[in-house]
Amino acid sequence: MSGFQWWHTAVIYQIYPRSFMDGNGDGVGDLAGIISRLDYLQDLGIDAIWISPIYPSPMADFGYDVSDYTDIDPLFGDLATFDRLLEAIHRRGMRLILDWVPNHTSDEHPWFIESRASRENPRRDWYIWKDAKPDGSPPNNWRSFFGGLAWEWDATTEQYYLHLFDRKQPDLNWRNPEVKASMFETLRFWMERGVDGFRMDVVSFIIKDEQFRDNPVEEIVDDDVSDSNPIHREQRHIYDIDRPEVHDVMREIRAVIDAYPERVSIGEIWTEPLARWAEFFGQNGDELHLPFHFGLLFLPWQAQPIRVQIEALEAVLPPGAWPSNVLGSHDASRLATRFGPQAVRTAAMLLLTLRGTPVVYMGEEIGMVDGVIPADKIQDPQGINSGAELSRDPCRTPFQWSEVPYAGFSTVEPWLPVAEGYEQRNVAAQQVDPHSVLNLYKRLLAYRKSTPALQQGAYHTVTDTPDTCYAYLREYDGQRRLIVLSFADAEQTLSLDAIADRGKVAVSSGLDREGEDLDLSRLRLGAHEGLIIEI
Ligand code: GLC
């Protein structure tokens, strides 16, 4: 394992804490709830837990609006409960990654309360305040990613402040050294407590154009922008986000992290195209350990686009850089809904056999689908401002533990309704079904853990396959594994004897072919079947 850190070989599991497990019966998940389910996570076989924000927050964006970076919101628990959680995670040999939200605070953070108090306040310059144009309009054409303008007029001090997200999320001014120093202290606070690393929220957004120029207005065509949010398509986002100067700050952040041994820095980096995204590893590997790779999230569930994306990713990685693939999150439609139910098993196999550190969003391991949220129950500010089709509530519904009311998540009505079909699609039911999606995840996680070729091996595309099929090799120190994934609705027969004459099934997506000896000149592959083959 030389040169490999724990996070190279780990599988990360994302918990959206409001929706994982309610420990105190108020309809919202919490830290006590997570503690009560650690045995489940250990048994599942994941290595590290990333928890979306748990800090004090008015919850305008459900924790991504932080009003104190060094405490726990009472809704989730307190610092003593947090310490218990961390200790219980470490005792099980797992790691804990916290979400860190550097781009903006809550407007109820004491820093912003001071900043907005007067133009002379010493913290005025901690946020981004600008005069109106002579006609009273905002300083430039930047838009909030949640819809509407990115500028909010403050009548008391007669200036606009910038918010790239909700108006209750004012952007910090990272060009101010005091802001930097204070934010770095918040990282140290949690590392001193023993936290193993951070997932850094929209960290590439933290530096804005020094001259605050207008973004060029032009309609962005499909190929350039991969998701469906119209805000991402109506302007070229070259002055508001992803500024080249941000890399200087990224290196400073990394130095703070590196002062503590074995900590990981992960970044939510949407930057496109991939060549610019890859810059976030740093020219000397001195920025992020793991910028998340989101390139698979919005592709159609088809072999060729996925293959092309992975090849492009592999080609663009600087020497020594390590990918981290994401197929689901609290911001995107569930993969069973987005790609279709037929994709659930092959997606699991893809995610857990590609080169890199996989991130499993809670609930994907039981094949959860998007919930249906009535219009009057929408909670997500993006959904409220930009329309129900952009609401992220459907992928944030309560975790489905069992068939009892509220899916065993809570004893009272949860903050979001439980998704339909939970009576069948839940942990308890899938634990006793040997062929369930949950047991597939367990098998894949266990197999990956015992197979260096999957944890550390090189990646090579197998080129000689039909268009409806994606096959690749993972190789490490003489150990070779062939992964074959079908995207077809019908059975097919493949000739893969250019790779090897014979092979043996290690894992099949239906958990029904293990140990089968294969003649690779005539490999039978079921509809939407995936195989890991020992060769
Ligand atoms: C990130 C988070 C998202 C949040 C936004 C603003 O994209 O993943 O949930 O709303 O940042 O903090």
Domain boundaries, the chain: 6-102+177-212+241-445, 110-162, 457-534
Ligand 1: residue whose CA is nearest its atom 7: 202
Homologous superfamily in CATH for domain 457-534? Golgi alpha-mannosidase II (2.60.40.1180)
Q: Is 516 a catalytic residue?
A: no
d(CA 389, CA 401): 27
**Which of 176, 166, 168 lies closest to 128, judged by CA?**
176
Exposed/middle/buried for 51, CB within 10 Å: 0-12, 13-18, 19+?
buried
d(CA 341, CA 511): 17
What is the second-level CATH architecture of the domain 6-102+177-212+241-445?
Alpha-Beta Barrel (3.20)
Exposed/middle/buried for 521, CB within 10 Å: 0-12, 13-18, 19+?
middle
Q: How far does residue 337's CA lie from ligand 1's centre (Å)?
A: 21
Among the options 201, 242, 364, 380, which is catalytic?
A: 201
Among the options 30, 47, 268, 380, which is catalytic?
A: 268
What is the second-level CATH architecture of the domain 110-162?
Alpha-Beta Complex (3.90)
**Which of 429, 439, 421, 462 lies closest to 512, judged by CA?**
439
Residue 355 tokens read as: 């080169």
pLDDT by position in tens, the chain (length 535):
458 999 999 999 999 999 999 999 999 999 999 999 999 999 999 999 999 999 999 999 999 999 999 999 999 999 999 999 999 999 999 999 999 999 999 999 999 999 999 999 999 999 999 999 999 999 999 999 999 999 999 999 999 999 999 999 999 999 999 999 999 999 999 999 999 999 999 999 999 999 999 999 987 765 555 566 677 778 999 999 999 999 999 999 999 999 999 999 999 999 999 999 999 999 999 999 999 999 999 899 999 999 999 999 999 999 999 999 999 999 999 999 999 999 999 999 999 999 999 999 999 999 999 999 999 999 999 999 889 999 999 999 999 999 999 999 999 999 999 999 999 999 999 999 999 999 999 999 999 999 999 999 999 999 989 999 999 999 999 999 999 999 999 999 999 999 999 999 999 999 999 999 999 999 999 999 999 999 9
Q: How far does residue 177's CA lie from ligand 1's centre (Å)?
A: 24
Query: Does ligand 1 come within 6 angstroms of the Cβ of 64?
Result: yes
Query: Does ligand 1 come within 6 angstroms of the Cβ of 202?
Result: yes
Query: Which letter does DSSP use for residue 255 in this model?
Result: H
Residue 53 tokens read as: 């924000």
Q: How far does residue 7's CA lie from ligand 1's centre (Å)?
A: 23
Query: Does ligand 1 come within 6 angstroms of the Cβ of 240?
Result: no
Angle 246-258/177-193 helices, nearest 10 degrees?
30
Query: Does ligand 1 come within 6 angstroms of the Cβ of 99?
Result: no
User: Residue 485 — left, alpha, or beta (φ > 0 → left; ψ -120 to 50 → alpha)?
Assistant: beta
Angle 79-91/177-193 helices, nearest 10 degrees?
60
Q: How far does residue 67's CA lie from ligand 1's centre (Å)?
A: 15
**Which of 56, 156, 158, 157 lies closest to 106, judged by CA?**
56
Angle 437-449/344-353 helices, nearest 10 degrees?
10
Query: Does ligand 1 come within 6 angstroms of the Cβ of 529?
Result: no
Ligand 1: residue whose CA is nearest its atom 3: 331
Q: Write the secondary structure of 301-313 as one string of H (helix), E (strand) and C (coil).
A: CCHHHHHHHHHHH
The phi, psi pair for 370, rounded to 5°, reads: -60, 140
Q: How far does residue 202's CA lie from ligand 1's centre (Å)?
A: 7
Q: Is 201 a catalytic residue?
A: yes
d(CA 354, CA 360): 13
